[in-house]
Amino acid sequence: MKRIFLLSLALCATLVTSAEEYAKAGIYDVAEGRLVKATAAPTVIAVTLDIETQSFTPGIYARYAQKYLGRRASLAARSEMAIVGASILDSAPAAAPRAESQVDDVETLAPNRFDGRAMTLEEQASATAELIFSLRKHRLDLITGEAGENVFGAGLRAALDEIAALEKEYLAMFYGTSNRSVEHHTFAVEVKEGETDYTICRYREGEGVVPLDNLAGEAVVLHIETPSDMPAVFESPQPKDKVAPREYLVLHDSKCRLSCGVTTLAEAVMPLLPYAKRVVARPLK
């Protein structure tokens, strides 16, 4: 029983020493040659990637745009992706709010249908083009006062805005619609002593962030340059009569670089606890 008690005391002493050393982690000032500030250094780095997607969807009447509106429209759908932002942080950022949308189950009629007549796609395109020209004529009549003589001020502005919205909707049936969206990805990277390169994910054009085992994607790598050499002994800022030589965990700034292939996405400089060096502090002479 006594032996177990002694082992427990030894274990407690070890834990206290480790906690004490951890608490003594500090910044080493190369110019001053001494410990200048205690700090809490991270062991986990948060890496964020912002992936932008720009897509184009051709209009349902795109093939008839030249015939009825006098200008060609693109017939091909396309989508482009790019990394538009990245950051390296010493703590995880707050979660971004999620955008929610609701889609009704009831389908509505297309805005260019005003009756139940059976029409071919080209006939629908022709009718929609006529609606566009009719809207433009009504807008001109409102502006010149040919129509709606009692429509003025805020009422005129509202009428013109509604005509513009309808025209834009009809034109999209010929010339398509473009959409831009941005996805935010956050990765927690646990820094380990002796390791300098961390593959956090892979990026593939047209797909964005893909799993690590998808070798078709380009590796997104966090590289950490280990601190430069520091002396094994430095002077303590405390007076000689108050402190004896003791060990410290001394931190030095590490350079972090995030890259995808040969492209550098982000850079940061920060002290990291796994790269701390155990040194002896002597009292001031």
Residue 200: pLDDT above 70? yes
102: in domain? no
pLDDT of residue 114: 72
Structural domain that includes position 267:
23-43+192-282
| pLDDT (tens digit per residue) in 83-133 | 999 999 987 555 444 434 444 455 556 777 777 788 899 999 999 999 999
Instruction: Report which of residues 40 and 243 the model is more confident about.
Output: 40
* 22-33 residue pLDDT tens: 445 666 555 565
> Are both 149 and 173 inside the same structural domain?
yes
Q: How many domains does the chain have?
A: 2
CA nearest neighbour of 253 among 29, 20, 62: 29
- pLDDT level of residue 283 (50, 70, 90 thresholds): low
Q: Tell whether 12 is covered by a domain.
A: no
Q: Which two structure tokens, joined as six digits, stand for 217?
A: 């994607």
Q: Are 206 and 271 in the same domain?
A: yes
Per the domain annotation, does 264 fall within a domain?
A: yes
Pair of tokens at residue 92: 């995880």
Q: Is residue 153 left, alpha or beta, with left meaning phi > 0 and alpha meaning psi from -120 to 50? A: left
Residue 186 lies in a domain: no
pLDDT confidence of residue 230: 60
Residue 117 resides in a domain: yes
Beta bridge partners of 28: 35
- Digit-coded pLDDT (tens) for 202-238: 999 888 898 888 999 999 999 998 766 665 555 555 5
Measure CA of the first residue to CA of the last residue in the chain; give whole Å. 48
Residues 201 and 222 in one domain: yes
Q: How big is the CA angle at 46 (ends 90 and 215), to the nearest 5 degrees? A: 145
Residues 6+ apart with CB under 8 A from 191: 42, 43, 44, 45, 198, 224, 272, 273, 274, 275
Does 136 fall in a domain? yes
Q: Is residue 5 part of a domain?
A: no
129 and 58 belong to one structural domain: yes
Residues 125 and 145 in one domain: yes
The answer to whether residue 15 sits within a structural domain is no
pLDDT of residue 19: 34
* Residue finishing a domain among 180, 200, 225: 180
